Amino acid sequence: MNFIKNMFTKQYATYDYENIDLTRIPKHVAIIMDGNGRWAKKRGLPRTAGHKAGVEVLRDVIRTSSQLGIKYLSLYAFSTENWKRPQDEVNALMQLLVIYLRKEVQELHENNVKIHIIGDIDRLPENARMEIRSAFELTQNNDGLIVNIALNYGGRSEIIQAIKEISRQVKNNELEIESIDEQMFSRFLYTAGMPDPDLLIRPSGELRISNFLLWQIAYSEFWFSDIFWPDFSGKHLIEAIIDYQKRDRRYGGVK
């Protein structure tokens, strides 16, 4: 802990790092990476420039998460609704995914990070699927930070798919209806075996969930910021966690 603390104090010399409690770090942090297009527009740049800048943020956020001891980091990269965007923008996003994985996966692997994809990737281009499979295979035995990259992901779609699979198993007498409860239902989601997010972060000034992890965030703490994603950093992640640590999480009970 002292090593981590000294390292971060040096990295963020102007930030009051002493306010964070390293014994109360959230296990699972989810981030809606938003604001790339508006960041670019504000600078008179094409939207693709914003997406490129947003990708550069990932290294710092993942490194900070790993060093803090966060166990799961879920990143909303491409939703089921994002297919409605102009085709050239969608193509650019898919190419950025390929470039990012090729460039970063070895370093992620060397730092014990495990890449996990949540969402239906069958619709993604073949080269993107190949890079995803390669990243998964390379990092699958790592036991450090697990990075969930949400691609072609939608919370409603995830729930519907879970219901269909449960229904199929009930129909085939593989599952008793009476055995269906919240814990069992969670095993049919993309995040099966993972704790629900403790903290959901959304930069960019929007105050929506945008169909992200709808089942899993039932009791998550939310942290919103006006910062566009390309301007986000490990410093802001620390700021969100400090704010999270000030909250009294009662889960519907009374303390």
Q: Cα separation of 238 and 68, whole Å?
A: 9
Which of 171, 217, 211 lies closest to 198 in space, CA to CA? 217
Q: Could you list the residues known to form a binding site for substrate, using ranges.
A: 35-39, 47, 51, 79-81, 83, 85, 202, 208-210
Other Cβ atoms within 10 Å of 97 Cβ, number? 22
Alpha helices in the chain (DSSP H): 2-11, 36-42, 47-68, 87-110, 126-139, 155-171, 182-186, 234-245
Q: Is 122 a catalytic residue?
A: no
The amino acid present at 187, given as its one-letter code, is R
Task: Show binding-site residues for Mg(2+).
Answer: 34, 221
Q: Which residues are annotated as a binding site?
A: 34-39, 47, 51, 79-81, 83, 85, 202, 208-210, 221
Q: How far apart are CA 120 and CA 122, in angstroms?
A: 6
Task: For residue 20, report the phi and psi dihedrals to the nearest 5 degrees.
Answer: -90, 140
Among candidate residues 34, 148, 196, 198, the one labeled active-site is: 34
Q: Considering 60, 82, 111, 211, which one is annotated as catalytic?
A: 82
The residues assigned a catalytic role are 34, 82
